[in-house]
Amino acid sequence: MMATAEESKPSPVPPEAKQPTETADDDEKIPHPTYEVYRHTLLRGANVASLAVVIFGPVVLLFRGVRKPTEMLRRLGAASPKAVATGVGLLGLMTFNRLHDQTEEQVFDRAYRLRYNKSQLLSDKVTYASALGGGLAGLMLMPQARVMGAVQGVCLSIGPAFVVAMGMAGKKKYI
């Protein structure tokens, strides 16, 4: 048999650029879907709690009569790890309550949507980067208590990072 001209033409799309179809191999890409869902919700618990401290903390401190910016920052830094621990704990319990009656397939579906959502991936990257930056800033700004400075820096930075990430996710050029 002779090949026609169309059959012998090379494909304009290289084979490595073609999109893979969904197969059973996709299951292997998320080996622990429950972990993936918990990682997401615990990170969001830390984001929300940190954001609450950054937004409401200064208002509360102003009503209590704290006017010095250094004193305000010291108190916000001391409150932020407690708030983050509370946010992580509450969202961990809420996630457990939500997942305990779901099938493995439902949990995997949720984990798959979280893992491959571009906005979620961007939000996670911005949160991790700001946590690193906040931790380094805390290390440098509190030489007498470096570990506590790093913890406070991480806890104070991840809330505003969430807002920045959501703003970036709304603009298509960042995704």
∠ CA 104-91-111, rounded to 5°: 30
In angstroms, the CA 170 to CA 152 distance is: 29
Read off the pLDDT of each residue in 7-27 and give the average, rounded to a whole number: 50
28-52 pLDDT tens trace: 588 899 999 999 999 989 988 888 8
- The half-sphere exposure of 118 on its side-chain side, counting CA atoms within 13 A, is 8
pLDDT of residue 17: 44
* pTM listed for this prediction: 0.73
What pLDDT, on a 0 to 100 scale, did the predictor assign at position 28? 58
> Given this model, what pLDDT does residue 24 score?
46
Q: How far is CA 77 from CA 35, 95, 108, in A?
A: 29, 27, 37
pLDDT value at 10 more than 60: no
Higher confidence at residue 159 or residue 36?
36
Output the pLDDT for position 92: 94
User: Quick one: average pLDDT of 137-157?
Assistant: 84
Task: Using pLDDT thresholds of 50, 70 and 90, give the confidence band for residue 4.
Answer: low
The reported pLDDT for the residue numbered 103 is 93
pLDDT band at 20 (very low <50, low <70, confident <90, very high): very low
Extract the tokens encoding 84. Answer: 């983050």
pLDDT digits (tens, 9 = 90+) for 69-128: 889 888 988 899 999 999 999 999 999 999 999 999 999 999 999 989 888 888 888 888
- Count of CB atoms within 10 A of residue 92's CB? 14
